[in-house]
Amino acid sequence: MDRLTSAADIGPVVRELRRRSGMTVHELAAKAGVSYGTVSFVENGRRVPHTPMLIAILDAVDADLSVSTRPADPVDNTSRQPNPTTPGFVPSDREREILYGYATGLSNRQITNVLGTSDHAVNNAAARMHKRMGAVDRAHAVAIAYQLGILTVGGEL
C-alpha cells in the first residue's frame, strides 16, 4: 500500500474515490457522518483527517484499503514502505489492544489508562510494534492492520 504522507496526498485520493462512487460532497459527508466543510477541507488538502474519520470516509465510498488510488506523479516514499516482514506480522495481545486504541482515536495516555499499565510500557510496545510492522506512525500502523485483516471496519478484536 502506498503511504499517504500529507493532506496534499490524501485529498486527491478522497476526491477520486468519491467521484468513482458517484457521490456529491454533501452525500459523502452525510454517509460518513461528517460535515460538508470537513470533506471539502480534506479534498482540497487543507486538513488531514484523523484515523476514525478517514475510516468512515473510506467506508462511505466502499474503498478497499489494500487498493492503491494514489494520484499521478507520487512522491518517492520508498524509504517509508513497509518492511518485508509486514505480510507475516502477527500482533501480540498487547499490540492488538494498542492498534484497537489507535483505530478508535485514543491517545497513548488513554490507551495506558484502559490497559492499566505505565506510559513507558505502552510507548515501548508501540515503538516495537511500529518497527515490526514497518509503520512510520499511528495512522500507518492502523492502515497496515486493516490491510492485513487484523482490524476491520465496525469489527471487534
What CATH number has the domain bearing residue 22?
A: 1.10.260.40
Angle between helix 93-103 and 119-133 (nearest 10): 90
In a domain, 99, yes or no: yes
Asked, for residue 15, whether it belongs to a domain, the answer is yes
Residue 67: what pLDDT? 37
The predicted structure's pLDDT at residue 150: 85
Q: What is the pLDDT of residue 118?
A: 92
pLDDT confidence of residue 26: 93
What are the φ and ψ backbone dihedral angles of 64, each rounded to 5 degrees?
-95, 120
Looking at the domain assignment, is residue 34 inside a domain?
Answer: yes
pLDDT at 6: 54
**Quick one: cell of 58?**
473510506
- The structure's pTM equals 0.48
For residues 98 and 64, state if they share a domain: no
- The total of structural domains in the chain comes to 2
pLDDT at 15: 87
Same domain, 94 and 54: no
Alpha helices in 44-137 (DSSP H): 51-60, 93-103, 108-115, 119-133
With respect to residue 111, please indicate whether it lies within any of the assigned structural domains: yes
Which residues, given as ranges, of the chain have pLDDT below 70?
A: 1-9, 64-87, 153-157
16 part of a folded domain: yes
Query: What is the identity of the amino acid at 56?
Result: A
Residue 146 grid coordinates: 486493516
Residue 14 forms part of a structural domain: yes
Same domain, 60 and 100: no
CATH code assigned at 141: 1.10.10.10
Question: HEC profile for 35-101?
Answer: CHHHHHHHHCCCCCCCHHHHHHHHHHCCCCCCCCCCCCCCCCCHHHCCCCCHHHCCCCHHHHHHHHH
Instruction: Tell whether 80 is covered by a domain.
Output: no
**Spatial distance between the Cα atoms of 61 and 106, rounded to a whole number of angstroms:** 24
Q: In the structure grid, which three cell numbers stand for residue 111, read together?
A: 490507551
Do 11 and 64 reside in the same domain of the chain?
yes
**Residue span of the structural domain in which 122 resides:** 86-147
Same domain, 56 and 99: no
